[in-house]
Amino acid sequence: MLLATLLTQGCQEATDKNRSVDNRTIFPKGQPAPAEFFTGNAWVTGLVENDSVFTTAAGSVLFEAGARSNWHLHPCGQILLVTYGVGYHQIKGQPIEIIRKGDVVKCPPDVLHWHGASKDSSMSHIYILPNTEKGMVEWKAPVTDEEYLKEDLE
């Protein structure tokens, strides 16, 4: 009986270590996001693997304060469901939009944009990529500090 309890506890501790250190997020922290496509610390967890039946992919991204994606576009479009914190989203040529827990952001197909945490708060969101047969993502240049901090300058 004691052995079973210890084994169960050990398995639970291993599972807990894979969860986000921020208990306010609902999905595991995931794997570090590729540094070539993100500035700062971000983690990605795949939730729905793309396939030919649903042609949809989904996942969760957790950004530490100040972290952000590069400029990028999605031939298929993208939907973001903000699950925690405060962040920024910007479509090229438009002002930065402040996004918060509960917000839904629709990124039209083939529109250059970026998103990430605010400078003072971490942020997590679920991303949904519908119609993946059109293509999933095209990564572009990093968002410069000047572009990222533009919200403070206006």
Q: What is the pLDDT of residue 22?
A: 54
Please report the pLDDT score of residue 2 as a whole number. Answer: 39
Q: Which CATH homologous superfamily contains domain 42-153?
A: Jelly Rolls (2.60.120.10)
pLDDT in tens, 76-109: 999 999 999 999 999 999 999 999 999 999 999 9
pTM of the model: 0.82
Kindly list the domain boundaries of the chain, sorted by start residue.
42-153
Could you tell me the two tokens for 32? 């570090």
Interval 5-34: pLDDT, tens? 333 344 443 333 334 345 667 888 999 999
Q: The tokens 């030919």 sit on which residue?
A: 52
pLDDT confidence of residue 153: 45
For tokens 């050990």, name the residue.
10
Using CA atoms, how far apart are residues 14 and 85, in angstroms rounded to an integer?
Answer: 26
Q: Would you state the structure tokens that stand for residue 10, as one six-digit string? A: 């050990």
Mean pLDDT of all residues in 113-122: 98
Sole residue written with tokens 């999605």: 74
Residues in the chain: 154
Alpha carbon distance 107, 128 (integer Å): 10
